[in-house]
Amino acid sequence: MDFRDIKEFIKDTFSYLIVILIVILIVVYVVTLQQVVGSSMNPTYNESDILVLSKIHYKLFEINRNDVVSLKYDNSKYLIKRVIGLPGEHVYFKDNILYINNEPYENNFETADFNLNELGYDVIPDNMYLVLGDNRYNSLDSREIGLISKEDIIGKVLFRIWPLG
């Protein structure tokens, strides 16, 4: 074997290792895939849909109302939910109308009456969020598990990649 062949092999191997390292860093810190489990986000997302998640988005931008986010729950589960209430807001639902700070806000999903006071809060504390599933009558969300801290939000759902269409 020629020394030039060994040098070329090492060079090629190093290039592949760099590409693999970059892909791993992107998956760990920038974007990842997540599968929807359950029906709590119907009709927006369905069971077994595969979503692309931006892990870096909320390091650069604020969390906004109606963002669909992935969050850690119970240290072993990951949930997909929609952000409804932001820090400093008083949120409640009455007769299928969402009220934020006593002003009606457009809401496209049926929701049973709910008041933030039921969770023991008058307003949402700093770095906490009220999140709900789109299928409000069949969703494990803030109404049951409480407000979600910013640190428990993994990232923003960017789009669905499976099924196609």
Told to judge if 54 belongs to the known catalytic residues of this protein, a careful annotator would answer: no
**Other CB atoms within 10 A of residue 115 CB:** 14
End-to-end CA distance of the chain: give it in Å, rounded: 52
Query: Residues 54, 55, 70, 81: which is the catalytic one?
Result: 81
Characterize 13-32 residue by residue with b for buried, 16 or more Cβ atoms within 10 angstroms of its Cβ, and e for exposed: eeeeeeeeeeeeeeeeeeeb
Q: Name the strand (E) or helix (H) holding 144.
A: helix 142-145
Strand, coil or helix: 111: coil
Told to judge if 48 belongs to the known catalytic residues of this protein, a careful annotator would answer: no
Query: Residues 40, 70, 139, 142: which is the catalytic one?
Result: 40
For residue 128, what are the CA distances in angstroms to 23, 84, 117, 146, 153? 32, 11, 15, 10, 10
Sign of CA dihedral 72, 74, 75, 78: negative
Identify the bridge partners of residue 131 per DSSP, sorted by sequence position.
Answer: 83
Active-site residues, by number, are 40, 81
